[in-house]
Amino acid sequence: MIIARHKDLAVLRGTMESEYSSFVAVYGRRRVGKTFLVREAYTTD
């Protein structure tokens, strides 16, 4: 479950749905959920 990251998730999903290529850098302090956020955005069910 992601709490208060809806805007970040929307940005990542928007880059995936775009017809243009994009470079996305996700940075931040350790252990704040960066990898989890990327997995949530790009995992298809």
In a domain, 21, yes or no: yes
- 22 falls within a domain: yes
pLDDT tens, 1-45? 778 889 999 999 999 999 999 999 999 999 999 999 999 998 876
- Write down the pLDDT at residue 19: 96
Residue 2 has what pLDDT?
77
Domain total in the chain: 1
Residue 43: the pLDDT is 87
20 inside domain: yes
Per-residue confidence (pLDDT) for residue 9, from 0 to 100? 92
pLDDT of residue 29: 96
- Residue 17 is assigned to a structural domain of this protein: yes
Residue 35 sits in which domain range? 6-42
14, part of any domain? yes
What b/e sequence results for 28-44 when a residue is b if at least 16 CB atoms lie within 10 Å of its CB, and e otherwise?
A: eeeeeeeeebeebbeee
Integer Cα distance of 27 and 8 in angstroms: 12
Q: 9: which 2 tokens?
A: 């998730």
Q: Is position 1 within any domain? A: no
